[in-house]
Structure 1
């Protein structure tokens, strides 16, 4: 009976010990990842992918529609400015050019006829003016002579009055001819100006039409490499169609896609780096495109220094885009533990390495390699950073080799 009572007491004590204390779990060390907390240089960055593009790209659009009659070069050709790329045909434009040329020639002929008529009218008026001046001189001579004779009572008042009337008539006639000549001169100048403006307008329209017909030959706007040429002989090209592009061979830039989560932290001047041919190169954000598409936005980065040799258009680069400067911090390697703990606690190994117990921590910034530890750990501490998915509410881990 004493033995039975003692067994019951031991059973109850064992039950209390195993159920009321900390829950433990045996874990094999080769199935977990143990990392060491250390002091080091921390920089917040995100990994992004960028595509190498020419520093300057000029797009080729069909300024006029037409049918492709001839291709002078192929895609990838190094072009010189104004070098022809392809030729289009458009009979409607060519017909409009012929009609415009005919209109200009007709207008020029009408201007010449109108100018000749104006000149002839001016000559006639000048002849009439000459006659009026001559008649006035003769009437003035007779008037002065008759005035003298009338004073000497050689002639009567009737004859003298006729001389006065004739002189006044010729004087008024000359004034009238002067007014006619002035108005004729003014009218001629106005007609000439109007005709000149009309002619210049027709000439400008003709130049524009010739330019439109000239645009049927697509030429390189700048020196560079022709890429993405999309046109074949016999193909009908609508007006405004993108035919290709000219890549200016003066340098490269990198077009980078960034998750919209970081849009408030991305600005011009941020730096990034990448490795190419066993060397590290630096990039700098030059332009930010704030438009978000499918949860991402784009930035343009330029090389801070010379671009690496051998880099090509369309090549993809893996870039570390820095979001902060380098600082000294307590570093905790990243791991699967974060998914279960949210960075609020972690299993820390004892000094002898036989157990790992739950420890509260506080994490700050992070990058793809490390978390920044703010509280709860010290340099040299060893912690379990692998996944805690199968641990449940276990408080301690018994580590077994």
Structure 2
């Protein structure tokens, strides 16, 4: 009993130890022969050795298998990536850009004359005609200057009348003098001829002194008649020059008066065209300088689209190319009518003339998206355009395996690009499924698992 108590099994002993104790207890009580105990213990040691060997071999096999698997593949949910299928057929090259609808005809209202805004007669949104008065300005300096030039014109016109009267009077006086001299010349000539005839019939009847004096008087009057005639010509030429100069002065002053009248009339600012006052940027009491913009009038019935195309995609644009405008309330067909030669903020402005009816709700300054068709190509392999993909470059894309669970990186050579698609030259075949975006955070991995 003492031996049995010494080998009593505690709560923390293993089952193997308990079995050993049972054998010892039986041997102590005489239930087992001395030959039985060693044999039982030998079997137990062999079993332990076999179990340990099997465990070591199994652990080595598992370790080797895990080593062949490598690290576990990263997993991404399928709904967080964008995938597309490689296709073959017609490839439409197009370019897309945001833009706005703008009126074909629009007119900025500018002040022709500086002045203070006394009255705003029309509010934005109102329909106007070309003669509708939009604003009334005031400028006392303009009114005073108009009065001044009008007075100058009146004085110049009066001077012209006086000059014309004087010229005419001088000409008449000169003509009268010429007539008088001509009469004297004719009388002297007639008297000289009579004296010569009498002296020829009766020599000595007329004194030689009288004959000589008659000849001298005729010559003197003839010379004076020529001088007065030339003086009349000079007087006429001078009168024409004086009148012409004065008429020029009057004409110049009339132009100045018209200009100042237009300036004064421009204090009432009018629309200039039929349409709608789209915007007004002034307030009553505000001082407006000449040339300053006050508002804008548009014709809302005729609109066009102004698209902003990235400068690196604008090289293939041409006048007449087909376009489609998305107003988010309908599509409008159009064609390229103008390409801005300048680049602004990295974009090129493209005007698109609209050829189909406008959808309901289309109005000026509405934001739209436009697509311009550059060309259509047949027999082309293409796929959705990856983010930041550029023409004629080689990129790495993740292609799904046959099961669609693992995507592995492959090298793909791209060709021409479109707004939504890109040509595939090498690396993919029609029917391949590829991941186009959503894996940027896993670029260091050559393969990923797609979790459905």
TM-score, normalised with respect to structure 2 = 0.76
Instruction: Show the counterpart of 2:142.
Output: 93
2:73 corresponds, among 16, 25, 30, to 25
Comparing 94-103 and 112-121, the one that deviates more:
112-121
Cα deviation, residue 371, structure 1: 3.5
Cα deviation, residue 71, structure 1: 2.5
Would the aligned equivalents of 1:37 and 1:330 in 2 still touch at CA under 8 Å? yes
Comparing 351-360 and 164-173, the one that deviates more:
351-360
Q: Map 1:176-215; keep pairs closer than 5 Å.
A: 176-215=227-266
Q: Which one has the bigger strand percentage?
A: 1
1:114 and 2:169 correspond: no
Query: For the residues of structure 2 that align with 1:211 and 1:31, how far apart are their CA atoms?
Result: 70
1:272 corresponds, among 313, 319, 323, to 323
Cα deviation, residue 395, structure 1: 5.2
Would the aligned equivalents of 1:100 and 1:206 in 2 still touch at CA under 8 Å? yes
Cα deviation, residue 328, structure 1: 4.0
Would the aligned equivalents of 2:279 and 2:295 in 1 still touch at CA under 8 Å? yes
Cα deviation, residue 347, structure 1: 4.2
Query: For the residues of structure 2 that align with 1:323 and 1:293, how far apart are their CA atoms?
Result: 22
Q: CA RMSD in A?
A: 3.5
Q: Map 1:1-400; keep pairs closer than 5 Å.
A: 11=60, 15=64, 25=73, 27=75, 30=78, 35-152=84-201, 153=203, 154-276=205-327, 279-334=330-385, 344-351=395-402, 357-367=408-418, 369-385=420-436, 387-389=438-440
SS in 1 for 2:150: helix
Query: For the residues of structure 2 that align with 1:391 and 1:331, how far apart are their CA atoms?
Result: 25
Cα deviation, residue 119, structure 1: 2.2
Cα deviation, residue 248, structure 1: 2.6
Query: For the residues of structure 2 that align with 1:236 and 1:203, how far apart are their CA atoms?
Result: 29
Query: For the residues of structure 1 that align with 2:145 and 2:449, how far apart are their CA atoms?
Result: 93
SS in 1 for 2:253: helix
Aligned residues: 398
1:349-391 CA-to-partner distances (Å, cap 9, x unmatched) read: 4445565555443232344543332223322334455544565
Query: For the residues of structure 1 that align with 2:315 and 2:123, how far apart are their CA atoms?
Result: 44
Comparing 25-34 and 261-270, the one that deviates more:
25-34
5+ residue gaps, structure 1: none
Would the aligned equivalents of 1:349 and 1:382 in 2 still touch at CA under 8 Å? yes
Cα deviation, residue 277, structure 1: 6.8
Cα deviation, residue 144, structure 1: 0.5
Comparing 356-365 and 233-242, the one that deviates more:
356-365
Query: For the residues of structure 1 that align with 2:145 and 2:283, how far apart are their CA atoms?
Result: 26
Larger RCO: 1 or 2 (CA < 8 Å, sep 6+): 1
Query: For the residues of structure 1 that align with 2:370 and 2:250, how far apart are their CA atoms?
Result: 62
Instruction: Show the counterpart of 2:28.
Output: none
Would the aligned equivalents of 1:150 and 1:157 in 2 still touch at CA under 8 Å? no
- Larger-gyration structure (1/2): 2
5+ residue gaps, structure 2: 1-48
Would the aligned equivalents of 2:98 and 2:308 in 1 still touch at CA under 8 Å? yes
Query: For the residues of structure 2 that align with 1:314 and 1:96, how far apart are their CA atoms?
Result: 42
Query: For the residues of structure 1 that align with 2:167 and 2:404, how far apart are their CA atoms?
Result: 117
